[in-house]
A = this chain, B = another copy of it.
Amino acid sequence: MVLIISVFGHGRKCGKTTTVEVIVRELTKRNYKVGCIKKIHIENFTIDKEGKDSYRHAKAGAKLVATASPKEIAIIRKIQDNPVEKALELMLHDALDFVIIEGRYDKAKIKIPVARSYEEAKKILPMNFLFISSLTPEKFPSYLKVLHPLKDAEKMVEMIISQSNISKTSTN
């Protein structure tokens, strides 16, 4: 079973991507297979580049456009709704242990809000969360579990793993 984690915060530059990076790195070190989804709110966003061949294929009406290069394949799909659900669905063909969504996803089993201060955090806190990730943990009351993504990386990942039923033995 894949465990879904949502890492979300208020505004830009609050440390969301840093938090995702740290969690991915620590889980990967422990031999877990991790996938990531970046939620993007720009209406007409495309990862493709205008004028490129694959962009021209999509413009001509292709439902699915892929690039296949020696070390990477990318599949781009035009959709109408529910981007995160659709990305999750496609990822389930792989045997992943964790999927980390950068962006709010209320159905995630583990929620990790990211904020610079308690004032900011209050605007986004869900009913349940595992801990708060912050680059400035001193700006929070002491009764909250606040972890620093760079200093408390191991602690973060231990808490995440304790929520899963997956145990992995190092093959090194």
Chain A interface residues toward B at CB < 8 A: 16-17, 20-22, 24-25, 27-29, 33-48, 53-54, 56-80, 83-84, 86-87, 90-91, 93-94, 96, 100, 102-103
Contacts and interface: CB of A to CB of B under 8 A. Distances in A.
B74 A74 contact: yes
Residue of A37, A59, A90 most packed against chain B (CB within 10 A): A37
B60 A24 contact: yes
A39 B73 CA distance: 10
Contacts of A58: 36
A72 B42 CA distance: 10
B34 A62 contact: yes
Nearest to A37: B66
A104 to B, nearest CB: 12
A36 B20 contact: no
B62 A36 contact: yes
- A interface: dominant SS: mixed
A43 B70 CA distance: 5
30 contacts: A20-B56, A20-B60, A21-B56, A25-B60, A28-B60, A28-B62, A34-B63, A36-B62, A36-B65, A37-B67, A37-B68, A38-B68, A39-B69, A40-B68, A40-B69, A42-B70, A43-B69, A43-B71, A45-B67, A46-B69, A64-B96, A66-B90, A68-B103, A71-B78, A72-B76, A72-B79, A73-B79, A73-B83, A75-B87, A75-B90
A78 B39 CA distance: 20
Given A16-B53, A33-B63, A34-B63, 14 more contacts: A21-B57, A21-B59, A28-B62, A34-B61, A37-B67, A38-B54, A38-B68, A40-B69, A41-B69, A47-B74, A57-B102, A64-B96, A74-B75, A74-B77
